[in-house]
Each structure stands twice: as C-alpha cells, then as structure tokens.
Structure 1
Amino acid sequence: MSDGIVTQPRRDLTKYLMLLAISLFWGLNWPAVKTILSQVPPLTLRAVGFTLGAVIILTLTRLSGRSLAIPRRDWPSLVAAGVCNVLVFNLCTAFAQLGMATSRAAVIAFTMPVWATLLAIPVLKEWPRRQQIAGLVCGMAGLAVLLGPNGLQQGFGPGLMLIAAVSWAIGTIVMKRHVWGGAVMAVTGWQYVISAIPMVILASLLETPPDPATFPLPVWVAISWHLLLSLCAAQVLWFVVVSRVSVGQAAVSTLLIPVVGVSGSVLLLGDTLTPTLVIALALILTGVACVLLPARKR
C-alpha cells in the first residue's frame, strides 16, 4: 500500500514535468526559429530540420522494436497528413516570421483547434456543443482583435500564419479520420521524410548555403534548441505523455505553448507586449480551452 502511495505522486510529478518540458521546448521554439532565420534561409532551415527529424524519429522507432513498415492503405492519408502537418505548416511559419512579429505569429498559429472544430462539422460530422460554439466565438474574436480593421492587409505574414493554422487543422482531421495500421512514431517519421524531399531539392536550387563559421553564439544556441529539443526531444516526450494521459489532458496542456512563445518573444526578441496582443491571446486561449475541455456532466 505504501509503495503504491509513494509511486503514484512520483508518476504524476513525472507526467507534469514532461508536459512542462514540452511547453518550454515548443514555446521557446518560436523565438529560436526567428533567431535562426537571421542567418539561415527558410528553405535550408526546413530541409535540415525535416531531414534530421526523419533520421532521429525513425531510428528511435526501430530501436524501440517497432516496425518502420507502413501498410499500403495508409500511404494516401500519410502523405496528406505529412503535407499539412509538417510541410505546409512549417514552411508557412518560417516565411511568416520574416514579415511579422514572432509573438503575433504564435498567437495566430494557436487558432488551430478552432479551425479543426469547424472542419470537423462537414468532414467528421461532429457538431459542436454550446461550450464549443462559445469557444469558436472567442477564438474568432481574438483573431479579429489581433488582425485589427486592416485584416490581412498587414503584409504577407498574417495570411501565411492563417494558412499554417488551417493546414495544421486539416492534418489533424486527416490523422483522426484514418485508422492507422502502422506505428504512430513510424507514421510521424515518414511524414518528415515526405516533407524533407521537396525541401532539400528546393533549398539546393533556390538558396545559397550559409557559412556556419559566421554564426554568432545566439544562433548556435537557437539551432541546438530547434533541432534537438523542439524537433526531436519534444516530439518523443509528446508520444510518451499521450500514452500516459487522456487525450483531453494532453490537449489542454498545449495551452501553455503560446503563452511561453509570446513571453519568450517579448523577453528574447524584444517584441512589444501591446494591450491588443494580450487581449487577443486571452480570447484565443479562452476559445481553445472551451473547444478542448470536456463538457461538465450533469
């Protein structure tokens, strides 16, 4: 009995520490990518990141004893999910940060659950509850506050971030709709492979490789954070967490990510924490919480 009492709090503490690590790794990845882009072209950054992610995740999958094979029926959905979740999302977020503040980009990206809820109506026939409808209203209100009266006339950044958020939502719907026969880590690794191939080709044709010898120390720190902690460690930790907690708990835990992203952008990049940004972030977080949190049982 005493062993069980001691073990359970330790398990809970480990779970919460992993969730905190994921939020820090993915949240601070926003200012890290912005820092890297000051020295590394966006196509080259994504080509290197996708390639490294594919190698590490597939290697870990193999070392864990899982098969790398993907059933033939899974490939159409795998390609669609990879293009939406990895290729389009990461490509749009990289180019968007060249044209807008990172803090604003992180907030727009996190409207994804709102778009996913809307897309689930025609695709999955999942009609939102009153709580989710309230969340959709809050999310759209936050987006309207952030964009302001000029909307998408603020350059290419906000438009690309909206495309990224919607693409992420579509990829999420694809992942949820399909019944996968292959291992989840293998599916994720092959999505990186699919995304890496066009990025490597485009980067070699359109961009000049930067000289790493000229990189200042902050850029090297950002590269290490992006490639090792965000792209690899956080992804593996996410698989572990999802296997230990409910989907609802895992989803709600992601609410910390945009808060960390905005805070990191303000502290590390000097982004201005305006009242508009704070109000928009609060509205969108409220909307996402309404969408993700389960309804109260009567």
Structure 2
Amino acid sequence: MRPQTAPPLPARETPTLLGSVALIAAIGLFWGGNWPAVRFILMELPPFTLRAIGFTSGALMLLAWACLRRLPLRVPPGEWPWLIVTGAFTILGFNLATAFGQLRMPTSQAAIIAFSMPCWALLLAWWLLGQRITRGQWLGLACGQAGLLTLLGPAALADGSQGLAGPLIMLGAALSWALGTVLIKRRGVWQSHVVVITGWQLAFCALPMIVMMVWKETPPAPATWQASTWWALGYHLLFSVTTAQILWFLNVNRLSVGQATLSTLIIPSVGVSSAILLLGEPFSPRVLLALLLTLAAVAIVMLHRPAAP
C-alpha cells in the first residue's frame, strides 16, 4: 500500500514560524511537567486506575467540548481503523508503558529513555514512509544509542532482569509512540476534527483500562487521596491527557515527522529537572551524560536537512 501524503495546507492554515515555535514549546512544557505529576499520582493510585481515570476523563471532556462547538462526532468509516490503531500506539501503548516503567526506575531516567522517540520515528519513517536518512542523522541515531547504553550500563546490568525491566519498558514506550506518530503521518489527510479524533481515541483506550482496573486493582477511595494526588491529577488531565494530546496530533499533521518531533527535545529536559526539584531524585554524572547524548541525538536528527530522494 502506498503511503498517503497530505496536500499542501491552504494559505490561511500554513504554519507560521512563530505559531510552530509556540506549539512546540507548549507541548514540551506540558508533557515535561507531566512526568513528576504522574509519579505523584502513582504513589497513591495503581497504573491501570490512573490510565482508566485519565483516558475516560479526557474522552468525556474532549467530546463534550466538541458537542458545545457543534463539531460533528461522526467519523468517516475509512478513518476508524487509522484512528484506533494510531490511538493504540500513541496513547494506550505509550501511557501504559510509562506508568509501569516509572514504578521500576527513577522518573528522570525514564523520561530520558522515553524521549529517544524521535530517533525511532526516523527509522520507522525511513521504513514506512520512504524518508531517507542522512549521514548526520545516522550520527544522531548513534548518539541516541550511546545515551541509552549509558543508562543501561553496568549499574543496570548488575541488577539482572530487575535492573533492566524499567528501561526496557520505557524503550517499548518510545517505540510505541514513534510508530503511532509515523502512522498518523502515513494516513495523510484526516477529515474529522482533531478534537473529535483525540476524544474517540481516548474513549477506545479507556475501555481496556477500565476492564483491567476492575479485574486487577483495588484503588483507594477518592476521599482518602492526598492533596498532592489531586493537584497532580488535575495537571495530568488538563495539560497532558487533553491539551498536549490535541496539540501533538495538530503538530504531526501540520509539520513533517522531523519537525513535529522537535518538541520532544524540550520534554526530557523539563522532565528531568522537574523530577529532581519536585521528587528529590539525584542528578548523577551518568544521568547528565545520558541526557546530553539524548538531547544531542534529537537535535541532530530533527535539525539536519533531509537528503534529497
């Protein structure tokens, strides 16, 4: 099947430099600050419960907002398979893996591994979209692997499977998000409004989480939750699950895969610094080196001019 490519945006929808920068900055800050927020929630709520609440609340808020705006909730039949599959990777796979991953390793290190995503998206875009990889981008991929190996070094290997469990789960999260992002781009033009698409994606992702929550978990009653849990959950629902998710979908559709994923350059920096400040996690030389290598990898991959086909 040949990949569908989006036609040029109308003049009034062509992204301006200022608008693109603002979009990228907002996504980076919202998702970066979400890392310590999720860790605060996981101190009291189990993973399936967290994701069931997040996905359900996000779906209800977005679809209700779409109704108020009189946006059609009906999705064309041809878009449903793409909507479900891309949502399964970008929302369900990524968010579920990051929840379990943070329970098995420090949040600051988890954020670094998760946002190696652009490197994997570049490889997947090469495979699925036929986008060529330049020598400079291969260098970026090498930096990314070096950063990953820094975190998967002797300290992790010394703990055996337990030490590797968290990093491998976070690597799965990065791969899931990368594949979903490339598939969104492969789909090309979407007829449905971005709020409607995101709302339905969250609704479908909520169903298995509700089933797993009922089957596997016994969460504490809301009346017993600490204030920090409520504040973190409010931030998570408003800025990460809804606002940033919409902006991400809009970002991917407006820009190339490389330009769209540029926002991830900000996220690990915000995630690591906020985890250190709010969670009191140590900032060792190993973590610093892994962060610098990952940031260098993303910068090289995203900012290097693509090779001519």
Q: 8 Å contact 2:181–2:252 — kept in the other structure?
A: no
Alpha-carbon distance change, 85 to 240 in structure 1, aligned in 2, over 3 angstroms: closer
Unmatched segments (≥5 aa) in structure 2:
1-15
Q: 8 Å contact 2:198–2:246 — kept in the other structure?
A: no
Matched AA of 2:239: L
Q: 8 Å contact 2:152–2:164 — kept in the other structure?
A: no
**1:291 alignment counterpart:** 301
Q: 8 Å contact 1:248–1:294 — kept in the other structure?
A: no
**1:273 alignment counterpart:** 283
Deviation at 1:188, TM superposition (A): 1.6
CA deviations 1:82-123 (Å, max 9, x no partner) are 111111111111011111100010000001111111122222
**1:199 alignment counterpart:** 209
Alpha-carbon distance change, 144 to 71 in structure 1, aligned in 2, over 3 angstroms: same
**2:41 alignment counterpart:** 36
Q: TM-score, normalised by structure 2?
A: 0.84
Q: 8 Å contact 1:120–1:173 — kept in the other structure?
A: yes
**1:186 alignment counterpart:** 196
CA–CA separation in structure 1 for the residues paired with 2:131 and 2:207: 35
Matched AA of 1:177: R
Deviation at 1:227, TM superposition (A): 1.3
Alpha-carbon distance change, 63 to 235 in structure 1, aligned in 2, over 3 angstroms: farther
1:158 corresponds to which of 162, 167, 173: 167
> Kindly, what percent of the aligned residue pairs are identical?
49
CA–CA separation in structure 1 for the residues paired with 2:195 and 2:275: 30
Structure 1 residues 105-120: aligned runs within 5 Å? 105-120=110-125
Alpha-carbon distance change, 123 to 243 in structure 1, aligned in 2, over 3 angstroms: closer
Matched, 1:63 2:68: yes
1:91 corresponds to which of 86, 96, 105: 96
Q: TM-score, normalised by structure 1?
A: 0.87
CA–CA separation in structure 1 for the residues paired with 2:249 and 2:63: 13
Count how many residue pairs are aligned between Structure 1 and Structure 2. 288
Q: 8 Å contact 2:118–2:261 — kept in the other structure?
A: no
2:184 corresponds to which of 150, 169, 175: 175
**1:8 alignment counterpart:** none
Alpha-carbon distance change, 173 to 245 in structure 1, aligned in 2, over 3 angstroms: closer
Matched AA of 1:166: L
Matched AA of 2:35: W
RMSD of equivalent CA atoms: 2.6
2:152 corresponds to which of 138, 147, 152: 147
Indicate the larger mover: 62-71 or 168-177. Answer: 62-71
Alpha-carbon distance change, 12 to 71 in structure 1, aligned in 2, over 3 angstroms: closer
CA–CA separation in structure 1 for the residues paired with 2:110 and 2:199: 26
Matched AA of 2:36: P
CA deviations 1:221-250 (Å, max 9, x no partner) are 111111122222333455677788887655
Alpha-carbon distance change, 126 to 30 in structure 1, aligned in 2, over 3 angstroms: same
**2:143 alignment counterpart:** 138
1:217 corresponds to which of 224, 227, 241: 227
Matched AA of 2:65: L
Deviation at 1:284, TM superposition (A): 0.8
